[in-house]
């Protein structure tokens, strides 16, 4: 199936920031761990809430990625010499040198990843019960009526998300910029408050009792 790909619009509060070195003021914690840009974090939490209602526990295996993590991941998968076992080489240029993929999925050059802007997430599912564990987003749990990927295809675009590559169904970007999607505003108005994993504050702590008006200020909803 084709994955919808839309143009990425960056939030204006990222202007002047450096990839992978974002100030804490623009980040919010997400469940069960990690951080994202504050607008993306709110929308992701809504997806988690909607998924949980039908037996899909959305988690992630990649969120905001500081520069040091980008570098470590890059060096673990890419090497400054070709992989003799591969007929087709995946190549990146870093510090004026060519690097070649040796293991795992391709990764962005350090300092260029959308994970470094806090707007990308690598989605996965956590199974419930004795079979618990993190599995591919394409999995369909027994208790759910659709797979994790089908759920995202149905729900994520209206909440501001898009895919980046047809070859990576797990990798999504929050592309709405500063224009909070109507579906996000409608959901928050419907519930009247936000769950704990939406209640991030600039210093990264989790608070309680945030109301819609405060959340709108935080994510610059129009």
Contact 158, 181 (CB under 8 A): yes
Mean pLDDT of the chain: 87
Mean pLDDT over 64-92 rounds to 95
pLDDT of 221 reads 37
pLDDT value for 29:
93
DSSP state of 91: E
CB 89 within 8 A of CB 98: no
pLDDT at 192: 60
For range 137-160, the mean pLDDT: 95
Encoded tokens for 204? 């990264």
57-71, 116-130, 147-161: least confidently modelled range? 116-130
* The pLDDT of residue 1: 78
Give CATH for domain 17-65+114-219. 3.30.1380
DSSP 8-state secondary structure symbol assigned to residue 81: S
- Farthest CA pair distance, the chain: 58
Whether the pLDDT of residue 211 is over 50: the answer is: no
DSSP-derived secondary structure for 68-117: HHHHHHHHHHEESS--TT-SS--EEEETTEEEEE-SSS--PPTT--GGGG
Q: What pTM does this model have? A: 0.85
Q: Kind and range of the H or E element at 74?
A: helix 67-77
Tell me how many degrees the CA angle 35-208-204 measures, rounded to the nearest 5: 30
3-state secondary structure of 94: strand
Which of 151, 121, 122, 130 has the alpha carbon at shortest distance from 139? 151
Region 12-31: mean pLDDT is: 96
pLDDT for 142 equals 87
Query: What are the start and end residues of each CATH 3.30.1380 domain in the chain?
Result: 17-65+114-219
What is the structure's pLDDT at 203?
A: 39
Q: Is the model's pLDDT at 114 over the cut of 60? A: yes
Statement: residue 138 has pLDDT above 50? yes
């Amino acid at each position: 199936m084709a994955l919808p790909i839309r143009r990425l619009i960056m939030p204006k509060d990222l202007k002047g920031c450096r990839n992978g070195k974002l100030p804490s003021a623009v980040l919010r914690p997400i469940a069960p761990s990690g951080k994202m840009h504050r607008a993306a974090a709110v929308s992701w939490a809504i997806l988690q809430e909607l998924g949980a209602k039908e037996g899909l526990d959305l988690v992630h295996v990649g969120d905001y990625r500081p520069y040091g993590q980008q570098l470590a991941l890059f060096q673990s998968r890419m090497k400054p010499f070709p992989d003799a076992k591969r007929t087709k080489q995946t190549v990146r240029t870093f510090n004026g040198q060519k690097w070649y993929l040796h293991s795992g999925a391709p990764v962005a050059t350090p300092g260029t990843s959308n994970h470094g802007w806090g707007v990308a997430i690598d989605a996965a599912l956590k199974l419930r019960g004795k079979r618990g564990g993190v599995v591919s987003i394409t999995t369909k749990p027994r208790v759910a009526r659709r797979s994790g990927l089908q759920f995202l295809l149905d729900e994520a675009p209206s909440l501001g998300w898009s895919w980046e590559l047809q070859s990576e169904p797990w990798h999504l970007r929050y592309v709405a910029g500063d224009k909070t999607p109507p579906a996000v505003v409608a959901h928050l108005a419907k519930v009247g408050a936000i769950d704990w994993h939406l209640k991030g504050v600039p210093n990264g702590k989790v608070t309680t009792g945030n109301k819609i008006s405060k959340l709108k200020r935080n994510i610059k909803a129009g």
